A and B are shown apart, each in its own frame.
Chain A
Amino acid sequence: MNTRKAGSQTVLVIGGGVGGIRAALDLAESRHSVVLIDKSYAIGGLMTRLDRTFPTNNCDLCTVSPHLSESGRQLRIDLKPMTVVEQVEGVAGDFNVTVKTMPRYIDLDKCTACGECAEKFPDWVRFTPGLDPRAPTCMRYPQATPHAFSVDANKVTDFDALEGVCKVGAIVPDDREKTETLHVAAIVLATGAELFDPAVLDNFGAGKYPNVVTGLEYERIMSASGPTLGQLVRPSDGKRPARVGWIQCVGSRGINRADVPYCSSVCCMYALKEAVVTKERFAEEIETCIFYMDMRTFGKDYERYLTRAVDEYGVRIVRCRPHSVVEEPETGNLSITFATDDDARHKTEVFDMVVLSTGFRIPESSVALANRLGIDLNEHGFAQTSGFAPVATSRPGIFVCGVSESPKDIPETMIQASAAAAMAGAQIYLDENEIEEEEFFPPEQDVSGMPPRVGVFVCDCGSNIGGVITVSRLVEKVRSFPCVAYTEAVGYGCSKESMNRMEALILEHGLNRVVIGGCSPRTHETKFQDMLRRCGLNKYLVEIVNIRDQDTWVHMDRPEDATHKAMKMLEMGVYGVCRAHPLVEHSLPMNKNVLVVGGGVAGMNAALLLAGQGLRVYLVERESRLGGIARNVRATLEGDDVGRYMSDLTAKVQAHQKIQVLLQSIIVDHKGMPGRFTTGIQTGPRMHYMQIEHGVTILATGALAHRPGQYLLGEDDRVLTQLDMDAKIEDDPESVRGMDQVIMIQCVGSREPRNPNCSRICCQSAIKNALRMKALNPEMQIYILNRDIRTYGFQEDYYREARKQGVQFIRYEPDRRPDVRATENGLVVDAYDDILGCRLEISADAVVLSTGLIADDETTEELSVLFHLPRSDDGYFLEDHVKLRPTDMSVRGFFLAGTAHAPKTIRESITQGQSAAGRALTMLAKQWINLGAAVAKVDGAKCSACLICVRACPYNVPFINAEGYSEIDPAKCHGCGICAADCPARAIQLMQYEDDQILAKLDGLFERMN
């Protein structure tokens, strides 16, 4: 491609929410340089404000926060907070972007986030609310990135005083706004959106009645670190509510003033989650009721979540759109008046609290940004993309992900982020011969056999530690511990000055073990490990003793006890580190070939992107031609020509020199480790056996078009599926034009006990076909019998259009399903109409069943056995983390794309195909596979092959080898240590946490006690 000229190697990512962070991390891991800018002073975005996330109801911050600190640490990521784009010039591959950085008045390199400034001048400095117990919306988010304060200069009245309290001299009073020009090859837009402020509506009382809150505010109230410390209480009187009601679609799916017409896609799930968590965490007897229009639980396994919420937790759901909320002034209670489909009379119910489910809005600032970027927005203000290029904006070289593109939840944002990163990375030419950048550490000295010489360095962290205990006294005591060769108080140990001093001392005194008495290893271990490496010591020879977070911060009021405890903790650290030994991080050369299983739209997109990066791709397809299920689709809801797209895509794949297409091929065996797999394939009509060596595997085996034997399908040829109708409209328009009355039935074979999940695609395909049929014959009567219409995002526009054109939507309940009969005069459908309250008998020229997709159970089962991969109950492959790693699988080196993951549209499959390629590139960019060091090791001599470890391992790693003892592949070991703890012969040790290290710590603790 001509864009791949030597030039900028950098990608600019705008927006540091989860999407932007994911994109930046993917790019950095793929050896690209990244500039990540965010207008805020810390990255994290919206997700860090959530309490728990569906569908697991976990607090996922512990999962996302490593991502956040990771992005601060990544060498290739230049993080620029408080920075905005001014102007973009140039073309893809060669952009000049002018960015402006606001003054922070704090030197990021010097600030240690000690908090002295906030302590003295709480109003002048800002920190991510997480650590700030005063902030009304504080969150449990202990790892703000960058880990530094910022100064609100408007509020500072005395900069000298502020400088006076900062012990490390990080205050920069004359900091100025800076403008610079970045030379970048591509741009990823990930600015997200805001949530609608319902105070502009006058009917729900938001901002007027204290007990009316938004979903996000409710989330804060429930949060353990929220303003009420996890007590669920209502704002007006601090009492626990007994009845909480949710109103859905507030400001969304409307045509009134202040409404937006689209669906925000996430609110149904978050309302359900909030209701379930209310029941789960607080009190079963709190009544929860959700007022909704359509329950849109269309994501992977979301329908089950709905079923559980209703059946197990007793969350009540009422289909209606309440008109207003009225407060009873004396009690603060709120009454909601509503009417339901089955009962025309108005009812009024009283709630203690009402939660308004508000959706996404594109802020004005994003529209202005789009103008500066020169990209088109759609009518709703989201970045315009085309049907088959889901992350490409209208300007080549600028890509988009997350809510900037359309409303979506976290997993879909993650998928898109990796796709956008992959597409942006493809703009850059990377020289394959480029030598992997080495981090310049001196060679490691061999300390085995040397007696331990421990250096103990104790931080005072300003007053954080030093204000509670006398560090110099502590240091004196530590000197008497065994093996301690040197001790010193080091002030702020993590500051550059102190690090330099410690490095000099380590060399001067020939120290071979180090204990740092400071803050949490969770945040600072890597920093001190790197310090050791700079001194030629193995990074596993340092122990961080957390005397700040776990001692001085919590025992401020009893300095004597705190000092004693710090001493004990340090003693434990010293004893432990004496038993530490150098660990080798295993590594092996990476095989750069890729195996893609499945030649549908997802597999082909992944293959093309990877082959475009110069990698060899084997594309294995079991059928005799490429295309998969998308080959049977003619048009998308948006009117794009799928047939032409598919033939172009297939031609490109087949012509690509780097892609070897293996048709009529099946996988028969598999072995190896991530980065070095060998897979056996039988290929061609004669089932010729061949072996492929590859580093990663992408699974894109698709799903099956469902054809359940219901409603005369397969018995009467006037009963069709949506897929049949899609083809008929294209291939035989005359026969369709001749139809006067057509009935569609939704959720056939989905959302029922045998296939409990929603097929996601059927509502939009029904509306797509209805609109196309209406175009052929505007007089045609079309009835769509449905349980909910789940036209999420901008699909809602087409739902509205269908209603406008007279398509009739009739609701049915699963216990009163419609019935289809064949008569001499045609088909007759009996359906019960809730609104009319009677049975209808409608004759039809055709009945179209929305049968959706069903997992290809046989294929996924076979492959899951061969590859040792997990599946969900309904036969789809199970991703590693449903929220944050939707494209990665639990076995490293395996990635997942398309409908093998869950039902999705063609566009969504393309996105995940690109996403899988992007995730694969993060691995393939490496020359070596680093297998880490914290792995379990078996002593073969002690092992009696009792199989306990084989059964205990959550990842099925241990096996009994040919020599008859258990073997644990370091490449597959996750390092939990469960096997080590369970082994009755004590034959297994978990490196870094060996038994003698743990016991030594106990010795240190009880040394002087007995």
Chain B
Amino acid sequence: MKLRYLPLTDSDRQAMLATIGVTSIDDLFVDVPAEARLAGTIPDLPDHASEMAVERHMAALARKNLSAGEAPFFLGAGAYKHHVPASVDHLIQRGEFLTAYTPYQPEIAQGTLQVLFEFQTQVARLLGCDVANASMYDGSTACWEAIVMARRITKRGKALLSSGLHPHYVSVAQTMAKFTGDDLAYETPELDSKTDSQKLIAAIDKDTSCVVVQYPDILGRIEDLTALADAAHAVGALLVAVVTEPVALGAIKSPGAMGADIVVGEGQSIGVGLQFGGPYLGLFACKQKYVRQMPGRLCGETVDAAGKRGFVLTLSTREQHIRREKATSNICTNSGLCALAFSIHMTLLGEKGLRDLATLNHALAVQAANRLANVPGVTLVNDAFFNEFTLVLSKDARDVTRSLADKGVLGGVSLGRLFPHAPQLGQGLVVAVTETVTAEDIEAFAAALTEELA
């Protein structure tokens, strides 16, 4: 048997066994109890396959999916289709980035470390914060870690979750809170152009650790966060802002500028691609004074023995490999390569490109919203929005998205999919419009929707 990823030959193996001083490979597995040693290969599983055969099998599976590029495409709700320049994917496939480990040996990892330093700076500036870490798993887990961090800072256990927070993020927090004992207040959203910020302000009290608010929210609404921040700060609570569409921050005020103490987000929009939900990229930033309570890896500037500038992982006394059960988080492997993709894409954009991109997203979204609101049986919920808005249809939106898909149109995310236990939201449809959408796509969507609702 010759396997293409295994370089040892049989004569190598024999020579090595002789060096070790044993006669067979089984002699190296003597510590495994005899009853647990498998005599042969595991039954009911196929043997090895050629590169060509594997590619054929995987391609057949890939063909069973309708990819976003093949259809008029309007899905968002926490994952967005943006154009990723070709050079991004080329660069992240450089073997020195792709096949490196976490930069524990900084003398031979300055490439990764400098990128992380640049990434942290880009993220902090985009979100309007002082410092950012080197990434988390995704937006939803970053959101939970922010709630935990607010608990550590305020020593209070009650978090108020806005009804505009992505329901998956709410689910993740609720799952974890069942075990940690954190008290989470949350209600499903209402189909209203106004968010629940007034309710949240009224609910803040001296037991509140933080208010968690998404911006733009799950229905695409945007509202100034300043009053919420002030109300939280007045009783010593923190404002945690969640951004699932970071491109928005090329057009609208940053959460940090409106007083948010911790800003987390999903960075997938920039550089990463849809990938059926993962791997994505958690963004995590905060005010300078909270940096030692932050989870995750941090890269910092220093000098080497010859006085040259260099970068290292730092403040690791917060981390699990040093602090063990006293760590600020258990996260170890994060999303390094996705952070690289984000950083390269952001460098290609620059501030000018980001603003142009955001302007284009907003303009197309306004055009689409105007067009779709003219379809009989459709009402637009939002006043203000960036590139995503909510429609109320005259029919169950979940059925409509399925029928549209059968017609080759991927027409938004139904609130029925996101909030299966809230029948009052069943006719809601969240529609995202990015630079990848053409005028023809909008027309095709409107036509299919008109037919569906007739």
Answer yes or no: are A and B bound together in one complex.
no
Give me the interface of B with A, judged by CB distance under 8 Å.
Answer: none
Give me the interface of A with B, judged by CB distance under 8 Å.
Answer: none
